[in-house]
């Protein structure tokens, strides 16, 4: 899929606007729920673990609805100006540059804030008037009061496992959204995803899914995260290119999950059960 990337004050903004087919395997009824929310001009909150398909789902829905998508990777230094816009100095003097949120509001596109809880709370407050029935965006620096175009949609996501007292979403913000909970796909669905994304056969996909299931069931370990669908796709692609399976398991499914050498070796002991070479 073709995307345009724009760097704005240390924030990378990806703009998706083409119609090239993007594979997405539906897990439950998330597609119809998103479509209902879009039809009724409701903002959507997607929560789920890392690498479970949240961003791919939003990209798929933007394509399905034929809407431009502005994706913002949120972080501690993200400011309201990064979202809304700022005055810049050019050869002909000062001019105003819209931020991704403002562009989506004007154009009737989808603005997707990935890992929104990573942004400062004084930044996310600017979302409030857009995430209720007002659907407006005040631009204090220009004096404009923008009404969202009919096709505008606000979508945010975060990983509940990363939440703490400092980085939780305020109830006053969360209750403005229709919420969807994502998790790692069921084995049959995840197998189909691997076959499509990695161009591997059903048997190899099944072995990767079985290994992932074993890693996800591990108890009493030092892992902050378990093997994600994203990591399985990485592993499948590398195996399909001819890289030895156990080397792939180490670099894609063990080392990314922990920095502790002993834990890495424990994960590799599990991997050898499924890929004994």
Q: What is the pLDDT of residue 43?
A: 97
Helix 202-216 / helix 187-198 crossing angle, nearest 10 deg: 130
Judge whether residue 16 has pLDDT over 70: no
Kindly list the distances between the CA atom of residue 135 and the CA atoms of 41, 139, 176, 231, in Å, as whole numbers in the listed order. 9, 13, 12, 38
Mean pLDDT of 265-277: 90
Average of pLDDT values for 176-200?
A: 94
Mean pLDDT of the chain: 88
The H or E element containing residue 232 is helix 229-240
CA 35, 51, 48, 274 torsion-angle sign: positive
CB atoms within 10 A of CB 94: 8
Higher pLDDT, 76 or 8: 76
Question: Which of 155, 161, 157, 186 has its CA nearest to residue 26?
Answer: 186
**Is residue 6 pLDDT above 50, yes or no?**
no
Both tokens of residue 211?
Answer: 């290994």
The structure tokens 């009737």 sit at 108
**Predicted pLDDT of residue 12:** 47
Q: pLDDT tens across 28-81, in order? A: 899 999 999 999 999 999 999 989 999 999 999 999 999 999 999 999 888 899
The torsion angle over the Cα atoms of residues 223, 174, 45 and 109, rounded to 10 degrees, is -130
pTM of this structure: 0.85
Which of 1-5, 42-46, 145-149, 223-227 comes out lowest in average pLDDT?
1-5
pLDDT value at position 164? 53
The mean pLDDT of 173-182, rounded to a whole number, is 92
pLDDT of residue 70: 97
Confidence of residue 23 (pLDDT cuts 50, 70, 90): confident
pLDDT tens column, 89-130: 988 889 999 999 999 999 999 999 999 988 887 788 899 999
Question: pLDDT at position 204, please?
Answer: 96
Q: So what CATH class is 3-181?
A: alpha beta
Q: pLDDT per residue over 197-232, tens digit each?
A: 999 999 999 999 999 999 988 855 667 788 999 999
Q: In the predicted model, is pLDDT for residue 8 greater than 50?
A: no
């Amino acid at each position: 899929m073709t995307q345009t990337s724009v760097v704005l004050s240390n924030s990378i903004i990806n703009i998706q606007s083409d119609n090239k087919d993007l594979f997405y395997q539906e897990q439950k009824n998330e597609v119809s729920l998103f479509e209902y929310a879009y039809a009724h001009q409701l903002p959507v909150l997607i929560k789920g673990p890392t690498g479970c398909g949240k961003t791919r789902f939003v990209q798929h829905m933007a394509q399905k609805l034929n809407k431009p998508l502005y994706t913002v990777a949120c972080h501690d230094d993200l400011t309201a100006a990064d979202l809304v816009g700022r005055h810049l100095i050019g050869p002909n003097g000062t001019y105003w540059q819209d931020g991704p949120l403002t562009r989506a509001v004007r154009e009737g596109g989808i603005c997707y804030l990935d890992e929104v809880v990573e942004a400062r709370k004084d930044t996310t407050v600017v979302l409030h008037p857009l995430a209720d029935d007002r659907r407006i965006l005040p631009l204090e620096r220009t004096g404009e009061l923008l009404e969202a175009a009919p096709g505008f949609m606000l979508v945010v996501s975060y990983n509940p496992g990363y939440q703490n007292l400092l980085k939780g979403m305020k109830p006053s913000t969360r209750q403005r959204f229709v919420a969807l909970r994502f998790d790692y796909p069921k084995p049959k669905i995840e197998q189909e995803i691997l076959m499509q994304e990695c161009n591997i056969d059903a048997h190899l996909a099944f072995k990767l899914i079985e290994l992932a299931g074993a890693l996800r069931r591990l108890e009493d370990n030092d892992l902050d995260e378990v093997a994600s669908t994203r990591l399985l796709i990485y592993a499948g692609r590398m195996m399909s290119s001819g890289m030895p399976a156990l080397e792939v398991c180490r670099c894609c499914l063990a080392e990314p999950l922990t920095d502790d050498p002993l834990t890495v070796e424990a994960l590799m002991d599990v991997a050898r059960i499924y890929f004994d070479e």
